[in-house]
Amino acid sequence: MPQACAGPEATPRQHDREIVALAVPAFGALVAEPLFVMADSAIVGHLGTAQLAGLGVASALLTTAVSVFVFLAYATTAAVARRVGAGDLPAAIRQGMDGIWLALLLGAAVIVAVLPLAPHLVALFGASHTAAPYATTYLRISSLGIPAMLVVLAATGVLRGLQNTRTPLYVAVAGFVANAVLNVGLVYGADLGIAGSAWGTVIAQCGMAAVYLAVVVRGAREHGASLRPDAAGIRSSAQAGVPLLVRTLSLRAILMIATAVAARLGDADIAAHQIILSLWSLLAFALDAIAIAGQAIIGRYLGADDAQGARDACRRMVQWGMAVGVLLGLLVIASRPVFLPLFTSDSVVKGAAVPALLMVALSQPICGVVFVLDGVLMGAGDGPYLAGAMLVTLAVFAPVALLVPALGGGLTALWAAMTLMMTVRMLTLWLRARSGRWIVTGATR
């Protein structure tokens, strides 16, 4: 697989230093994000079961809504990095502002939709009659912070494109701490209950967005970039994001199908599936950090008209992805005796999880290549191909996964189907990387 990006290897140590410098802070920021939900759950959980159940439903809805718009970070990173490579920092920041304005517009639209529809969305997710009022309250209040959440995504993309992943790490950590303190104070100190948790999250997200905006605005003033909304620029950002939206929705559909199939296999299997999926998501953070470095580095090389540099960086990052994937696979195998008891003491659940975990471990090198090449093609602005490749992957995975219960397969068979899904993704991305058609140089694609 390392041959996917043909071309002589150039200064691998330099590539290594750059990958580590960008990927390590990016990993820290990625890990900090789910801690928001964990902190809310820990604090709200002491209010009662109904409140915690309501939080679970509302958080699932909010997470889904925000994850759909993750293209704001991906597309902005690639576009900004290209202009950085071209040596045009004012245009890079201007491009970033277009992404931020798009985030504000989309966030406002989501608020308009969620406020009146909140009870219906909660009912659609199957909340009980006792949990539904709490879920509706949390969802309505938290939706007010969605514009800030989307601004954080877009501004994170701006800084990544500027080759800065440290600031997002600092902001994410500070946001987590502020969220935890605000939640405790508002839930218990002000006796606001679950509404206090929602308001705490909104305030923390708005604070994070304000910090990001301050950083971007300062950069715009230093380089003379306009801060005003530009209709053509916002439209261009939206167009670049549409293929990545299709990609993200296809991936979400794959994960939903997998969960639905696991639910049909029985209680023990769905319980084991949720444990494994949580581990799979954690492993994905490590690999996604390399992908984020890839987005920034590849975009910069292409913007600088350095096609060979982009090839060399691509090849080196694929090697990193494979190596980290092997390491993660070995860690999964070694940590099984410790990992599973943290989540369950049920021997049946453990029995279902162990062979499926082995499948996850074996698939990690494949996942490493997939994440890296995904990041490389995003950095190149190759969104339409990524959308098509993911639709092909969904078309292959869906019938195979749905056949698992019909053919009497269990959870291991389902995760074999997940491994097949990642293999299909690897093949489609590898073929594109090998073709070189993703290499389009210049300040814009």
Write the pLDDT tens digit of every residue in 223-233: 999 999 999 99
Q: By CB neighbour count within 10 A (0-12 exposed, 13-18 middle, 19+ buried), where does 303 fall?
A: buried
Q: Which residue has the higher pLDDT, 342 or 155?
A: 155
pTM: 0.91
Is 90 exceeded by the pLDDT of residue 343?
A: no
Of all residues in the chain, the percent with pLDDT exceeding 70 is 98
Sign (positive/negative) of CA torsion 107, 111, 112, 117?
positive
- The angle formed by the CA atoms of residues 407, 411 and 414, to the nearest 5 degrees, is 65
Sign (positive/negative) of CA torsion 70, 250, 437, 312?
positive
Average pLDDT, the chain: 92
Of all residues in the chain, the percent with pLDDT exceeding 90 is 74
**pLDDT bracket for residue 52 (50, 70, 90):** confident
- 408 Rama class: left (phi>0) / alpha (psi -120 to 50) / beta: left
Q: What is the pLDDT of residue 59?
A: 85
Estimate to the nearest angstrom the gap between the alpha carbon of 36 and the chain centroid: 15
Is 60 exceeded by the pLDDT of residue 361?
A: yes
Is 80 exceeded by the pLDDT of residue 352?
A: yes
Q: By CB neighbour count within 10 A (0-12 exposed, 13-18 middle, 19+ buried), where does 232 fall?
A: exposed
Radius of gyration of the chain (CA): 22
Asked if 383 and 376 count as a contact pair (C-beta separation under 8 A), the reply is no
Is 70 exceeded by the pLDDT of residue 211?
A: yes
**pLDDT bracket for residue 359 (50, 70, 90):** very high
Distances (CA, A) of 41 to 55, 180, 194, 247, 390: 7, 11, 10, 30, 33
**pLDDT bracket for residue 332 (50, 70, 90):** very high
Is 90 exceeded by the pLDDT of residue 180?
A: yes
Q: How far apart are CA 312 and CA 5, in angstroms?
A: 7
As given in the structure block, the two tokens for residue 320 are: 């990193």
Q: How far apart are CA 111 and CA 224, in angstroms?
A: 33
**pLDDT bracket for residue 6 (50, 70, 90):** very low
Tell me the per-residue pLDDT of 271-312, one tens digit each, with 9 for 90 and over: 888 888 888 988 998 899 999 999 999 999 999 999 999 999
Asked if 84 and 162 count as a contact pair (C-beta separation under 8 A), the reply is yes
Q: How far apart are CA 151 and CA 211, in angstroms?
A: 11
| Amino acid at site 260 | A
